[in-house]
Structure 1
Amino acid sequence: MDLELDNVHVLITGASGGIGLETTRLFLKQGAKVTAHYNSNAASLNALIAEFGSDKILAAQANLSAEDDVMRMFSEASNSALGIVQILVINHAISPPEDDSVLNMTLERWRNTIDTNLTASFLVSREYLRRLESASDELKAKAAIVFVGSTAGKYGEAGHADYAASKSALMYGFMLSLKNEIVKIAPKGRVNCVAPGWVRTPKKEEKLKDPIFVHRALATVPLKKPAEPWDIATQIICLSSTKNSGHVSGHVVMVDGGMEGRLLNKLSGDQVLEAL
């Protein structure tokens, strides 16, 4: 299916791994031009640069919590052969691996998570809108922002209130406000969010080898399996396409296997013994 993304310039944050890398690959296969943001390691992007060429993909380093870095990244993207950014995918995030209750969480951890996941998303969105303002009407017609949220933003996550709060704010308060503002700059501009549950990414691979952990993670998921990065990337692409989703704005698409807030799948005695 032609999603009419050929030569559309997309900037993807957190593009060097997991969901971001798969999303970058899929946009490139659709003919889009991609600025692929990374924080510290761009090695995973080299194969895509070799396959699609530097006229189609730019690897751009930035600390997204730093205002100057965000501005520099957009300058590099816009001044390259790719042109002005038309679609923005905000995918980057951190989730400290250690369980830490609100009772014991340090202010340093709270601030770092909020700054990385939420404040950085504000800085990136603001710079995108500022540069979009001077674009031609033709370029503005493809304007779209897609956030990557999380089931933690809908259901909460004990031991990770910092992560859950940052995602909830992104998915609802920020996204719903932004979808009413983008149209003042680009009348056809849209803002949506894709919210995954557990995804089989390199960072989560070790945890997903533990059968007890997998049961707990999937206990309320009818499909009884984690998503693959492809599952999330295809929804991001779908919402980014004006042809496919041109009248869709302000929505959170849950890509969670049907997760609910109640226990659906009980662990049998044999499964407990096998896990032990």
Structure 2
Amino acid sequence: MISLVGKVAIVTGGSRGIGAACARLLASAGAKVAIGYRSRDEEAQRLATEITSLGGSVLLQRGSLDTLAANEGLVQATREQFGQVDIFVGNAGVWPPNPLAIEALPADRWRHTMATNVDGMYFGAQAVIPHLPAGGRMIFISSTAGQRGEAGHADYAASKGAMISFVKSLAVELGPRDITVNSIAPGWVDTEAVTIPFADEGRTRIEANIPLRRVASPDDIAGPVLFLASPLARHVTGEILNVNGGSVLCG
């Protein structure tokens, strides 16, 4: 059993889907958890109630995390409530579900995707790194799209490709401080974001192209996050851990 007793984790984009699963699992391992979320108050409160009912400690912080000030506010609130930060899970992000050819991709969608997925990651790192101790953990949720590209979603693929390079750069930079930086690269995950592509026979067609013949659940992503946050992964850094059922094989 992995124990994170005495540790404090921040999870961004934590009110639902992958983020909620990560927050729940980290808390079940004993970590105190600060959850940053954009707007889903009801879902965030429901998750907080679930964690506290099981004896966990949780902080909710509402707001968009695409600025340095917002990220610093989340880190400051976490330290004021729990006294420290040991683990940072950067999960906040967007995936515009409607595919668009590059010549039809509007600049405002490109900018929004980059501001959320790239700027948010950059500002989150700037805000939290000064407060991470030796043994600190940073884990970012990237995507198979950042490894192989994704037709019709050049904005999203580019943002996740940037994340992968960012993770590798930080791993080298922060290694001498004994801070590990890794990424989970999911394939398809059963969340609200994929309602449109899963409609009709979409899910069946997608599953047929996955060697394990199933779409991941948010818990399937949270488990590897817990591993990377734990002492078991103390010598793993700069890794892009693929959690995609075998749909993209690059190791």
The reply to whether residue 258 of structure 1 matches residue 251 of structure 2 is: no
- Is 188-197 or 214-223 further displaced after alignment? 214-223
Per the normalisation by structure 2, the TM-score is 0.92
- Mapped to 2, the partners of 1:31 and 1:99 lie a distance apart of 40
Match of 2:174 in 1: 182
Match of 2:152 in 1: 159
Match of 1:117 in 2: 117
- Is 109-118 or 61-70 further displaced after alignment? 61-70
What count of residue pairs does the alignment treat as equivalent?
247
The reply to whether residue 106 of structure 1 matches residue 98 of structure 2 is: no
Q: Cα offset for 1:30? A: 0.5
- Relative distance call for 1:246 and 1:42 in structure 2 (3 A) is same
What does 1:29-178 align with in structure 2 at a 5 Å threshold?
29-53=28-52, 56-80=57-81, 82-132=82-132, 140-171=133-164, 173-178=165-170
- Is 146-155 or 199-208 further displaced after alignment? 199-208
- Give per-residue Cα distances to partners, 1:201-250, cap 9 Å, x unaligned: 13324542421x224433431111100111000010001112x1111111
Q: Cα offset for 1:260? A: 3.8
- Is 38-47 or 108-117 further displaced after alignment? 38-47
CA RMSD of aligned residues (A): 1.8
Structure 2 counterpart SS, 1:74? helix
Aligned letter for 2:89?
A: V
Gaps in structure 2 of 5+ consecutive residues: none
Q: Cα offset for 1:71? A: 1.5
- Relative distance call for 1:19 and 1:55 in structure 2 (3 A) is closer
Match of 1:265 in 2: none
What does 1:242-253 align with in structure 2 at a 5 Å threshold?
242=231, 244-253=232-241
- Is 28-37 or 217-226 further displaced after alignment? 217-226
- Mapped to 2, the partners of 1:30 and 1:130 lie a distance apart of 25
Tell me the percent identity. Answer: 34
Structure 1 or 2, whichever has the larger Rg, is 1
- Mapped to 2, the partners of 1:47 and 1:260 lie a distance apart of 34
Gaps in structure 1 of 5+ consecutive residues: 133-139, 262-276
Given that residues 146 and 239 in structure 1 are in contact (C-alpha distance below 8 angstroms), is that contact kept between their aligned partners in structure 2?
Answer: yes
Structure 2 counterpart SS, 1:113? helix
Q: Cα offset for 1:49? A: 2.8
- Relative distance call for 1:111 and 1:206 in structure 2 (3 A) is closer
Aligned letter for 2:43?
A: S
